[in-house]
C-alpha cells in the first residue's frame, strides 16, 4: 500500500522548492537538511529512525519550511516533491550488518520506491551511493570507470551489492523512463553528529582517546582510508544536484588525502592530547585494503575540491564529541 504524505507547508506551497531527504535524521542527512533550509527550500525529512536520531534535527522542528515524516523507504510513498536526495540506509558496518536483509531491502526497494516517485513527479533524484561499490579495490586511486572487486556473499555484501543494485536501477530508470538521476559515490565522511556507538573508526577512536582507554585498530593498521569533512561532502551533493539534466554521474565525492588507519589513530591521539596506547585487534572479514578517490570528475563537473585538512576537520569533530560526552557520558561505554 502506498503511504501518501501531505506535509504541512505554510505560505503558498509553490513558493518554495520542495526537497525530500530520505535518511534526513542521520549524520549526513541532517547536515544536508540544514543547508537546504539555509538556501530557502522546503525540506521534507523522511526517516525510520533506525540509526538516525531526533536530536540531529530537533533544532529544525517547528521551522515553517521543515516537515518530518516517519516512514520506512521499503514501503511505497507518495509526496509532492521537486527534488529527492536518497540517503536512507545504515552506513556503518556495525549498523548495516545488524539486519543485513533489511539493509539490502532498504537499498533496493528504497531505490525502486523513490525512483517511481521521482518519475511520477518529474523530480530530480540523487542517490547516495558509496565507495563500497568498489569493494576491496585492485586499483588505486579508484576512478568512476573502475567496476570494482566485491565479494557478493560476504558480510559486507548486503551493503555493497544493495548499493550496486540501486545504481543499476537508477540507470535503468533513466534509460527506460527518462528519470532525472544523479549518482554520488561517497567516500568515508566524518564530522559532528556521527553516532558515538555506530562503530566507525572516527567516532570509535575519538571516544577512546577522550576516555583515555586503548585506541582499537583492526589488523596491523596498514589499510588505508581517505576522510572527507561532512560540510564538504554535503556541498558536493548539492552541487551535483544542481548540475543540468544529463549529468548523471556516477561522481566520486571524497577527499583524496589517503591515510593508513595506524597513522589516523596517531593523529587522533595527538589532537586529543591523549597518551592512550594503540591495541591491535583482528581485521574484520572483507575489510578493504585501500580506499582513495580519484576526484577529477568532481573537480571537472562540480568545480569541487575539498580543502578542509584532516587536522582541522578532526579538531572540530573532537570538540563535538567532547561536548557529547559531557551531555551523555554513556554514549559508548568502553
Ligand atoms: P546514518 O546511519 O547516520 O544515516 C542513515 C539514515 O537513514 C538514518 O537516519 C537512518 O535512520 C535512516 N534509514 C536507514 N534505513 C532506513 C529505511 N529503511 N527507511 C528510512 N530511513 C532509513 O548514515 P550516514 O553516514 O549519514 O549515511 C547517509 C547515506 O550516505 C547512506 O545512504 C550511506 O550509505 C551514504 N554514505 C555515507 C558515507 C559516510 O562515510 N558517512 C559514505 C558513503 C556513503
Ligand atoms: N577500524 C579500526 N578501529 C575501529 C573501527 C574501524 O581500526 O574502531 C578500521 C576498519 O577495520 C577499517 C577502517 O578502520 O579498516 C574504517 O572503518 P569504518 O568502519 O569507519 O569504515 P569502512 O570500513 O566502511 O570504510
pLDDT tens digits for range 31-87: 999 999 999 999 999 999 999 999 999 999 999 999 999 999 999 999 999 999 999
* ipTM for the whole complex: 0.99
Q: What is the pTM of this model?
A: 0.96
Instruction: For ligand 2, say whether the CB of 284 is within 6 Å of any of its atoms.
Output: yes
Instruction: For ligand 2, say whether the CB of 209 is within 6 Å of any of its atoms.
Output: no
Strands 228-229 and 251-253: unpaired
Whats the size of the chain, residue-wise?
334
Handedness of CA 1, 49, 236, 109 (dihedral sign): negative
Instruction: For ligand 1, say whether the CB of 228 is within 6 Å of any of its atoms.
Output: no
Nearest-angstrom CA–CA distance, 206 and 204:
6
What is the per-residue pLDDT across 135-156, written as a single tens digit (0 to 9) for each?
A: 999 999 999 999 999 999 999 9
Nearest-angstrom CA–CA distance, 274 and 98:
31
Q: Give φ, ψ of 64 to 5 degrees.
A: -65, -20
For residue 98, give the ligand nearest its CA: 1
The percentage of the chain sitting over the pLDDT mark of 70, rounded to a whole number, equals 96
181 burial level (CB within 10 Å; 0-12, 13-18, 19+): buried
Instruction: For ligand 1, say whether the CB of 255 is within 6 Å of any of its atoms.
Output: no
- Which residue has the least CA distance to atom 11 on ligand 2? 218
- Which residue has the least CA distance to atom 18 on ligand 2? 200
pLDDT at residue 11 greater than cutoff 60: no
Query: Does 159 participate in catalysis according to the annotation?
Result: yes
Cis, bond preceding 141 (omega within 30 deg of 0) = yes
H/E stretch holding 313 reads: helix 310-327
The band of 166, judged by pLDDT with boundaries at 50, 70 and 90, is very high
pLDDT at residue 186 greater than cutoff 50: yes
Instruction: For ligand 1, say whether the CB of 278 is within 6 Å of any of its atoms.
Output: no
pLDDT at residue 5 greater than cutoff 90: no
Given 85, 96, 134, 159, the catalytic residue: 159
Mutation test of ligand 2: which of 206, 225, 289, 292 has the most ligand atoms closer than 8 Å to its C-beta?
225
Nearest-angstrom CA–CA distance, 68 and 64:
11
Amino acid at each position: 500500500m502506498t503511504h501518501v504524505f501531505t506535509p504541512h507547508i505554510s505560505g503558498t506551497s509553490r513558493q518554495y522548492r520542495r526537497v525530500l531527504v530520505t535518511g534526513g535524521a542521520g549524520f549526513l542527512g541532517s547536515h544536508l537538511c540544514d543547508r537546504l533550509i539555509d538556501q530557502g527550500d522546503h525540506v521534507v525529512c523522511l526517516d525510520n529512525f533506525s540509526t538516525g536520531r531526533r536530536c540531529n534535527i530537533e533544532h529544525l522542528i517547528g521551522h515553517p519550511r521543515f516537515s518530518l515524516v516517519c516512514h520506512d523507504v521499503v514501503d511505497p510513498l507518495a509526496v509532492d516533491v521537486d527534488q529527492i536526495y536518497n540517503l536512507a540506509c545504515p552506513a556503518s558496518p556495525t549498523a548495516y550488518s545488524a539486519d543485513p536483509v533489511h539493509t539490502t531491502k532498504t537499498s533496493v526497494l528504497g531505490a525502486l520506491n523513490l525512483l517511481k516517485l521521482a518519475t511520477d513527479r518529474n523530480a530530480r533524484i540523487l542517490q547516495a551511493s558509496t565507495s563500497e561499490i568498489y569493494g576491496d579495490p585492485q586499483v588505486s586511486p579508484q576512478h568512476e570507470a573502475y567496476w570494482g572487486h566485491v565479494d557478493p556473499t560476504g558480510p559486507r555484501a548486503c551493503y555493497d551489492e544493495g548499493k550496486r543494485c540501486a545504481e543499476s536501477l537508477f540507470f535503468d530508470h533513466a534509460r527506460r523512463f527518462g528519470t532525472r538521476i544523479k549518482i554520488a559515490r561517497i567516500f568515508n565522511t566524518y564530522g559532528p553528529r556521527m553516532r558515538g556507538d555506530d562503530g566507525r573508526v572516527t567516532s570509535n577512536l575519538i571516544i577512546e582517546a577522550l576516555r583515555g582507554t586503548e585506541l582499537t585498530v583492526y589488523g596491523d593498521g596498514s589499510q588505508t582510508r581517505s576522510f572527507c569533512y561532512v560540510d564538504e561532502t554535503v556541498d558536493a551533493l548539492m552541487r551535483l544536484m544542481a548540475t543540468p539534466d544529463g549529468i548523471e554521474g556516477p561522481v566520486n565525492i571524497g577527499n583524496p588525502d589517503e591515510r593508513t588507519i595506524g597513522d589516523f589513530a596517531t593523529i587522533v591521539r595527538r589532537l586529543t592530547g591523549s597518551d592512550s596506547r594503540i591495541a591491535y585487534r583482528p581485521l574484520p572479514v572483507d575489510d578493504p585494503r585501500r580506499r582513495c578517490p580519484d576526484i577529477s570528475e568532481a573537480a571537472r563537473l562540480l568545480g569541487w575540491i575539498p580543502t578542509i585538512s584532516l587536522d582541522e576537520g578532526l579538531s572540530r569533530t573532537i570538540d563535538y564529541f567532547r561536548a557529547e560526552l559531557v551531555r551523555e557520558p554513556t554514549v559508548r561505554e568502553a
